[in-house]
Structure 1
């Protein structure tokens, strides 16, 4: 008997908004419901993707050209889809992913001011028609989220390598990222569910669980 195709859910938002925590909390609930869940992240998720991640996020590569940055993001994404996402979905698993193409549209399209169309065109070329059935957008205050992400990244830095390259940007950059995320949510309300992430994780978690159960059945 062929397994039914799995579901693809993504979590989006500014770094430091709590999306990784909420993704893992949701995964625990789904597993208790008997669902086979895979959690993963972008950029990364595969050995090749993690190497690309170290280039994209390392503060030492802060002068990486925006087009090179975007190309690396999609290179990691192509490997991630081929190695993790598609095989898991075809095996009937649910894939919960921390970031996907919406991040590219928000950070490169909005933050870097490259525009949405370029990112959507690249998605079509690299990812085909693969989109999440549902995206949880964790909407948060840019200043608070970035400050939290900076503290986390400094604490996790090893061997002189940290992932603070984006957090070195000015607050205006993150305002543009947030605006781009909200524009995506307005454009695709059937896919994107926006959550007020300024509240505690114990308040946002049950809301996310309810929304996923309602939309995913």
Structure 2
């Protein structure tokens, strides 16, 4: 029996890491074997691409270059880790997946939707998560939390308007897809975690 793929999405500072740990604990308490991934990254080659994406290059990084690197890393992760795990019956909990590209590169960067669809079709071939938890946070609050963790990377330095556009696209996409559960990440963390456990528990029934 195939495992399930659960993805946690959101802007920087949304609290994805703690939510992923919570989901893993919830699954394990139910006797479900699982593993975690992150994007971009998750395999040796994909991690190298991650460093390339986040590096503060002195040259201009073309928006299309960033997009293709994201999908290259995603394809490596899908073929080398996610699909083998799912086929073995394990559940996979991912820190970001394709919704990130649709929101960040599609919404934030404003890349042509036709280009987005072409790359998605080539690399994912119809593969989608079984459940996505979208942690909705206001960009100002999320970036303040991210700064509290240390120096920001190249994408995190894209500017407030970029993250406002990204959040808008996230919300639009979540409203159109029943497999995406939106959770208000501006609440107290205990409330956020309660809502996440409720959503995952309903999915497991």
Does 2:58 align with 1:92?
no
Displacement of 1:64: 1.1
1:136-175 C-alpha deviation (Å, 9 max, x unpaired): 0000010110122133242xxxxxxxx5111211211000
**Bigger shift: 129-138 or 144-153?**
144-153
Does 2:153 align with 1:164?
yes
Local SS of the residue matching 1:185: helix
CA distance in 1, matches of 2:124, 2:70: 12
Q: Which residue of 2 aligns with 1:5?
A: 2
Q: State TM-score, norm by structure 1.
A: 0.90
- C-alpha contact (below 8 Å) 1:44/1:51 kept by paired residues: yes
Does 2:43 align with 1:46?
yes
Distance 1:36 1:140, change over 3 A: same
Q: What is the 5 A alignment of 1:8-157? A: 8-60=5-57, 63-154=60-151
Q: Is there any run of 5+ residues in structure 2 with no aligned partner, and where? A: none
- C-alpha contact (below 8 Å) 1:105/1:115 kept by paired residues: no
CA distance in 1, matches of 2:150, 2:68: 24
Displacement of 1:62: 7.2
Q: Which residue of 2 aligns with 1:204?
A: 192
- Count of aligned pairs between the two proteins: 205
Displacement of 1:32: 1.4
Local SS of the residue matching 1:44: coil
Q: For 1:175, which of 161, 164, 167 is the aligned residue?
A: 164
Displacement of 1:61: 5.9
Local SS of the residue matching 1:10: strand
CA distance in 2, matches of 1:62, 1:8: 37
